Structure 1
């Protein structure tokens, strides 16, 4: 039976193989988060309009577009949500297991002006906070990303 399966697999090379693999394996969305810091080490936190009322505070976050480099997703999302320019840094978190989603987080450094101009459709408020001065109602997973990536 295995020989037959291998023979058939080799015979259907190309798009048919890819379609079978796509159907047989999970297809993921990539949620990408940025831990954005300014030159003073403060972290950019946002109060998100669409998040649960008791946990609206968190980091800039969004989904990667098809074919988009995850580090560039951070740059795009921060720009869309706050108008700020950032330079992506190192990957600090990568995890699967959220049904059809993977979680990715990068450090990012503010480049230029530190005054946010929020997109009020997605974000209610933006603040620069020290890692030990984060607001109440902060997503616990985001709090952990901040504390685990704090420079020494």
Structure 2
């Protein structure tokens, strides 16, 4: 925690291919270990949030992409003390390319349909909520009903899509 302090800023990328499939990963660590989630990570010093999401997607999956826009924001408080914030971007692959999965960070990396993610018990709470929502009907409205589970220790949790 000392490296990041008590205010965290992360990014996640919803990468959608020409077939409408979403790029999803299973982390090999943290509370998301073994769960389908979006490629994500923390913003580093000296980079913008859009640069950070492009870097994180490339580091985890080998996919080079282009950011199309900001589509959501997740914010929460962990153990009543850490402000955990994540900007969620829409992106597209620059070219049709194979995965180069980060062996250090990921158990798996796949293209999945939103429908398959909604019914998969291994889909993270945030990703399941995204896959079951129609973007135009909930765009940047607050959702305080999503339960991320006890694994992270959130005392407050909100999604904006």
Shorter-chain TM-score tier: 0.7 to 0.9
Structure 1 residue runs of 5 or longer lacking an equivalent are 1-25
- Aligned equivalents of 2:33, 2:7: Cα separation in 1: 28
- Aligned equivalents of 1:101, 1:52: Cα separation in 2: 14
Runs of 4+ displaced beyond 3 Å: 51-55, 146-151
1:1-150 correspondence to structure 2 within 5 Å: 28-52=7-31, 56-98=35-77, 99-134=82-117, 135-148=120-133
Report the TM-score when normalising by structure 1.
Answer: 0.73
- Aligned equivalents of 1:39, 1:101: Cα separation in 2: 32
- Aligned pairs, number: 127
Higher helix share: 1
Report the TM-score when normalising by structure 2.
Answer: 0.69
Structure 2 residue runs of 5 or longer lacking an equivalent are 137-161
Query: 3-state DSSP class of the match of 1:100?
Result: strand
Q: 1:53 to 1:145 in 2, by over 3 A?
A: closer
| Residue pair 1:32, 1:103 contacting (<8 A) in 2 also | yes
- Aligned equivalents of 1:40, 1:94: Cα separation in 2: 25
- Aligned equivalents of 1:100, 1:137: Cα separation in 2: 26
Higher strand share: 2
